[in-house]
Amino acid sequence: MSPEAALGADLAKRLRVRPGSKVKLASIDPAETHGHDKEGAAATLQASHDRLESLQERLWAGKGGALLIVLQGIDTAGKDGTLRHVMTAFNPQGCSVIGFGVPTEEELAHDYLWRIHRHTPGRGTIAIFNRSHYEDVLVVRVHDLVPAEVWRRRYDQINAFEAQLIASGTTILKFFLWISPDEQRERLQARIDAPDKRWKFERGDIDERKHWDDYRRAYEAALSRCSTDPAPWYVIPSDRKWFRNLAVAEILVDTMEKMDLTYPPADDDIASIVVE
């Protein structure tokens, strides 16, 4: 096991939502760093990048399964930042990033998982979901977009959907980026104050902030109901961006090393070829 994987295994154990447990986000400090410090984080993150680059090459070459990474979090939690600082380790040739916003008319004409399933990764590839199928038990619940009896059934449906993907060879990693209300307020204000960041601000972000407690309860239910042994949730304390990046990268390394990725075997006589 590489040093990065060992660190990742420790963080995975600490941050994993134990299947069957009842999550209370108020008991999780979003500024917690689990003994790590900012000074050493940059070097550790670079080492993880190097390891992830190698692991993805083996995944792509050997077609040894697929990897689905789910990023969820309330507005400003750092989904885009995680993509920039962690997922850039992956070669875009074998990695896709899909952002799920408000469903289109075509998507609404199908079941809610239709738009998700068509973007799941094929063998040898990685797919990263910026928001995901969990929106249909989050924003849908908070804003009463469907009856309660409809979204309550979706937890079991989502678990069955993920189990199907896993049975077909897909490894699933789900990260919930957890920030405090004060941190969100500061990040929203920073977007307003910086002219080159104002494009990221939407007035609706202020309205959504008023539903903080509703979203917290919705996330607690999703994390509790849908963290399973084969597809666990990880709650990533994300007030400190450097720790968020470190934790996600290390858990990724730990997970991918356990996928036992190998290069495909070459022809037996290839070593004797001389290129002239």
pLDDT at residue 5 greater than cutoff 70: no
Could you tell me if residue 272 is inside a domain?
no
Could you tell me if residue 275 is inside a domain?
no
Q: What residues contact residue 73 under an 8 Å CB cut-off, 6+ apart?
A: 79, 176, 177, 178, 179, 238
Task: Determine the average pLDDT of the residues in 265-275.
Answer: 79
Give me the residues paired with residue 97 across strands. Answer: 128
Q: Domain range spanning residue 187?
A: 3-261
Q: Determine the straight-line distance between the first and last CA of the chain, rounded to whole angstroms.
A: 40
pLDDT tens-digit profile of 154-182? 999 999 999 999 999 999 999 999 999 99
- In order of 9, 52, 242, the CA distances from 249 in angstroms are 11, 8, 11
Q: pTM score, two decimals?
A: 0.94
Task: Determine the average pLDDT of the residues in 239-261.
Answer: 96
Could you tell me if residue 28 is inside a domain?
yes
The CATH code of the domain that includes 49 is 3.40.50.300
Could you tell me if residue 155 is inside a domain?
yes
Domains held by the chain: number:
1
pLDDT tens-digit profile of 194-246? 888 888 888 888 989 999 999 999 999 999 999 999 999 999 999 999 999 99
